[in-house]
Amino acid sequence: MKLVIRCAAVLAALSAGHASAQATAEAVAKKGFVQCGVNVGLAGFSQPDSQGVWKGIDVDLCRAVAAAVLGDASKVRYTPLTAQQRFTALQSGEVDILSRNTTWTLSRDTSLGLNFAGVNYYDGQGFMVPAKRKVKSAKQLNGATVCVQPGTTTELNLADYFRTHKMKFKPVVIEKLEEVLNAYFTGRCDVYTTDVSGLVAVRASRAPKPAEHVILPEVISKEPLGPAVRHGDDRWFDIVKWSLYAMIEAEELGLSSKNIEQQAGSANPAVQRFVGATGDLGKMLGLDNRWAVHIIKQVGNYAESFDANLKPLGFERGINKLWTQGGLMYAPPIR
């Protein structure tokens, strides 16, 4: 009898947790905003400008979800999170979405109670060194002191790379970005390692003299970066996933913030489905049928987001081009 009672109690607790987890979209609608976990400040991805307005491609994903769910891309509140804080903040319900240049890995996808909702930037880890050191390759870094942040795939990849190439290094592990950058720029470290996107952003926005720092040619890992949500809420997972895909699909269809309303009258069946003129795709997500129009009109397509946030820092589209242009950006059919 005790076993039966215990099983019943466990099932009741699981059911209660599941019911609670399923309620993210409803909770967002009730409170009137999306709580989004972002980087504490990484140019091009998520960083407040001089007016305190958050900008970046990760920020735009949060704005897209708000536009889809609430019809207003401005209905977002941001929670700056360090690499070590980010997963706990999502697991605990402190944030509704984690959109913080986070790498999708098997262990994170399965053991942390998270679902990754796609990739908004394909990346890889690299190394930056002062130009005065005359280093041309990462294979010349034997014995180097390397600045790295804890709780990241970067830390693990670093150890793997040096072990594979039978080299030694001295890690300088610092959690806060400002402190790790200060350590590198003041010469406490010979090398700074993170995703190549982070190196490009930091060199362009934080280095006193960007030309005095070189990003080495080696890319030592795969780092597919994207938003994550909690396990157990399929409806919210679908909304976040398809908000990202809508931005990618819009670029492929030639739909932008400047022409979306004019193109709504297009005879193209794919455009008709996208703008909600035919079918009930929005209702399948529990949203207004013009959900995708709200996203593109207020936030823009993927290219617009990339060009506004990353291109000014010197980023090239590279593998983040559309699949039709030789890149990896590919959205499943919106139909």
Question: What tens-digit pLDDT sequence spans the chain (335 residues)?
Answer: 433 333 443 333 334 344 444 599 999 999 999 999 999 999 999 999 999 999 999 999 999 999 999 999 999 999 999 999 999 999 999 999 999 999 999 999 999 999 999 999 999 999 999 999 999 999 999 999 999 999 899 999 999 999 999 999 999 999 999 999 999 999 999 999 999 999 999 999 999 999 999 999 999 999 999 999 999 999 999 999 999 999 999 999 999 999 999 999 999 999 999 999 999 999 999 999 999 999 999 999 999 999 999 999 999 999 999 999 999 999 999 99
Residue 299 maps to a domain? yes
What is the per-residue pLDDT for 308?
98
Domain-embedded: residue 52: yes
Do 243 and 115 lie in a common domain? yes
- Residue-wise pLDDT tens digits, 241-283: 999 999 999 999 999 999 999 999 999 999 999 999 999 999 9
Strand partners, 144: 169
Q: For position 11, what pLDDT does the model report?
A: 37
Task: Tell me whether residue 15 is in a domain.
Answer: no
Instruction: Collapse the DSSP code of 189 into the 3-class scheme (helix H, G, I; strand E, B; otherwise coil) and give the result.
Output: coil
Q: Which two tokens stand for residue 60?
A: 């735009």
**Nearest in space to 96 (alpha carbons), one of 67, 56, 53, 66:** 66
- Beta-sheet strand order (sheet of 228-230): 76-81, 34-39, 97-98, 228-230, 114-116
Token pair 């990346």 in the structure block, residue:
123
> Of 221, 246, 268, which residue is a domain's last?
221
Indicate if 114 and 262 belong to the same structural domain: yes
Q: Which domain range does residue 188 map to? A: 125-221
Classify residue 262: in a domain, yes or no. yes
Task: Report pLDDT for 253.
Answer: 98
- Which of 169, 191, 221 delimits the end of a domain? 221
183, 203, 221 — which closes off a domain? Answer: 221
Same domain (yes/no): 161, 79? no
* pLDDT at residue 47, as a whole number: 97
Pairing of strands 125-130, 228-230: unpaired
Residue 8 CB partners (closer than 8 Å, separation 6+) = none
Residues 161 and 193 in one domain: yes
Verify that 140 and 258 share a domain, yes or no. Answer: no
CA 29 to chain centroid, in Å, comes to 23
- 332 lies in some domain: no
Predicted local confidence at residue 8, as pLDDT:
40
Query: How many domains are there within the chain?
Result: 2
Cα–Cα–Cα angle for 211, 213, 218, rounded to 5 degrees:
125
Our separate counts of H helices and E strands in the chain read 14, 14
Q: Tell me: do 308 and 166 sit in the same domain.
A: no
Same domain, 112 and 229: yes
Does a structural domain hold residue 284? yes
Query: In this structure, are 268 and 299 located in the same domain?
Result: yes
Q: Is residue 77 part of a domain?
A: yes
pLDDT on residue 151: 87
Q: Supply the CATH number for residue 193's domain.
A: 3.40.190.10
- pLDDT the model gives residue 195: 97
Q: Is residue 16 part of a domain?
A: no
Together in a domain, 231 and 320: yes
107 and 180 in a common domain: no
* Predicted structure pTM score: 0.90
* Residues 215 and 231 reside in one and the same domain: no
Residues 74 and 155 placed together within one structural domain of the fold: no
Residue given tokens 């400008």 in the structure block: 49
Question: 123: which DSSP letter?
Answer: E
Contact 149, 238 (CB under 8 A): no
Question: Would you give the DSSP letter of residue 322?
Answer: B
